[in-house]
Amino acid sequence: MNTRMIPLFSMVIVCLLLASCAGSKRLAYMQTLSTSVETKPGHGIPTGLYESSIKPKDLLSITVVTSEPGASKNYNLLVPQISDVANNIYSMPTMQLYLVDNDGCIDFPVLGKINVAGITRKELETNIQKGLEPAFSKERPIITIRITNYSVNILGEVSRPGKYLSTNDRLTIFEGLALAGDMTIYGRRDNVKVLREYADGSKALFCINLNDKNIVDSKAYFLEQNDVVYVEPNKSRSKSSYINSAETLSVSAMSILISIASLVVNILR
């Protein structure tokens, strides 16, 4: 090999390595985390299991169970069974859902209006159980509540944009992105936007950096029902949106040819 080519090839390799390192830093999650960390009380880090709060427009499934079904039937709203004797068509009885109104209330049998906005499922279960104590003197009824429409919307530079449901009323930003097939390589990890609406109708926009280990301290780390997550495209995607794939290929090919021609000219001097 020509000795004059060695420095040239060395420079090319170094440039490629630097570009690779820069790209990995932009793509890696929590890249500033170099050692293991553990959340402990008293260090300003939220601890304990996350529990979501009920909001207006939530659909709640509420069941009251006792040892005698007849005693609790008045508190379980069932969709009436429909049967057609002639055609032998039957519908199975199903539980009706409670829609939380704009004032944050539901209308529960016997107990009437209950304000549920801003409290957790566990708190509502306790409240209903206390309210029903006079009707069940021999035993305490088992109250089970679920938010059936707990979902988030994930848009932008992800593999599968869409609306995703959570079955356990808990979803972190990383779990949400996993459901959407993770970000594409064109998504900005350092400026993910989360739009949130609170029970009083106010809205908040969070901009979070997934490259930062402190993401776990963000108010948007745990997604709330009806949150909208938007992953911005990076500069490469923004630029390519104005150029079709054929033009992009031709520009890339021309750039490579020009670079090769420049290298050859410099070598043969």
Summarised one tens digit per residue, pLDDT across range 180-191 is 999 999 999 999
Comparing 237 with 248, the larger pLDDT belongs to 237
Number of neighbouring beta carbons within 10 Å of residue 163: 13
Domains plus CATH for the chain?
1-30+150-233 (3.10.560.10), 59-147 (3.30.1950.10)
Summarised one tens digit per residue, pLDDT across range 150-197 is 999 999 999 999 999 998 888 999 999 999 999 999 999 999 999 999
User: What Rg, from alpha-carbon coordinates, does the chain have?
Assistant: 29
Comparing 108 with 23, the larger pLDDT belongs to 108
Of the candidates 94, 112, 93, 96, the one whose C-alpha atom is nearest the C-alpha of residue 60 is 96
> How high is the pLDDT of residue 20?
46
Half-sphere exposure of 60 (CA within 13 A, CB side): 31
- The confidence band for 24, taking pLDDT boundaries of 50, 70 and 90, is very low
Comparing 24-28, 53-57, 98-102, 235-239, the range with the smallest average pLDDT is 24-28
Residue 251 in tokens: 């520009």
> How high is the pLDDT of residue 14?
47
**Residue that has been written with the tokens 């985390």 in this structure:** 33
> How high is the pLDDT of residue 47?
54
| Phi–psi pair at 6, nearest 5 degrees | -60, -50
> How high is the pLDDT of residue 42?
43
| Amino acid at position 131, single letter | G
In angstroms, what CA-CA distances link 268 with 4, 119, 261? 10, 77, 11
**Residue that has been written with the tokens 């539901």 in this structure:** 106
When the pLDDT of each residue in the chain is averaged and rounded to a whole number, the result is 78
DSSP designation for 158 = B
- The confidence band for 250, taking pLDDT boundaries of 50, 70 and 90, is low
